[in-house]
Amino acid sequence: MKTLPKFQKAATSPELQEAFANHTVQSQTQVERLEQVFGLLGKKVQAKKCDAMDGIIEEGKGIIEETDKGTATRDVGLILAAQKVEHYEISTYGGLHQLATTLGLSEVADLLKQTLEEEKQTDVLLSQIAKNGVNYASANEEEEE
Ligand SMILES: [Fe+2]
């Protein structure tokens, strides 16, 4: 939630900026779904730091520091970092969705499934943005140097 706006600000391609902006809004809904999951399980909502995600986010910040503003090279790095985030989310939500299904918690499973699908869509969208020119533009930047 805190990192996506930073990625959005650091991005150059309008397509990528929009993808980050949209996923920020989507992530808010995902947080609300998690709150609903806690409710369905009769548990108090509790945030817990995730060391793995922290590491991926740190790596993303490093990419911003190591690349120049306004370059496609930075956009490529941001896409790589963001896809690592999405893949981690996909594996986590995928595992939790399966667990909820096994436990017969269908409402919880449905909520987790919705978020899982959004994460998968975001991953595909990021791949498309890379394919549609950001990677090519970045390759050209390297040649010019
Ligand atoms: Fe996500």
Residue ranges of domains in the chain: 3-140
Write out the DSSP string of 99-135.
HHHHTT-HHHHHHHHHHHHHHHHHHHHHHHHIIIIIH
Contact 76, 135 (CB under 8 A): yes
Q: What is the pLDDT of residues 80-114, one digit of tens each?
A: 999 999 999 999 999 999 999 999 999 999 999 99
> What's the confidence (pLDDT) of residue 135?
78
**pTM for the whole thing?**
0.91
CATH placement of domain 3-140: 1.20.1260.10
> What's the confidence (pLDDT) of residue 142?
65
Expressed in angstroms and rounded, the spacing between residue 117 Cα and the centre of ligand 1 is 10
> What's the confidence (pLDDT) of residue 145?
52
> What's the confidence (pLDDT) of residue 133?
79
> What's the confidence (pLDDT) of residue 125?
97
Expressed in angstroms and rounded, the spacing between residue 122 Cα and the centre of ligand 1 is 7
Expressed in angstroms and rounded, the spacing between residue 69 Cα and the centre of ligand 1 is 24
Task: Give the separation between CA 26 and CA 117, rounded to whole angstroms.
Answer: 11
Expressed in angstroms and rounded, the spacing between residue 80 Cα and the centre of ligand 1 is 13
Q: End-to-end CA distance of the chain, in Å?
A: 35
Expressed in angstroms and rounded, the spacing between residue 105 Cα and the centre of ligand 1 is 23
Expressed in angstroms and rounded, the spacing between residue 55 Cα and the centre of ligand 1 is 16
Residues of the chain with pLDDT under 70: 142-145
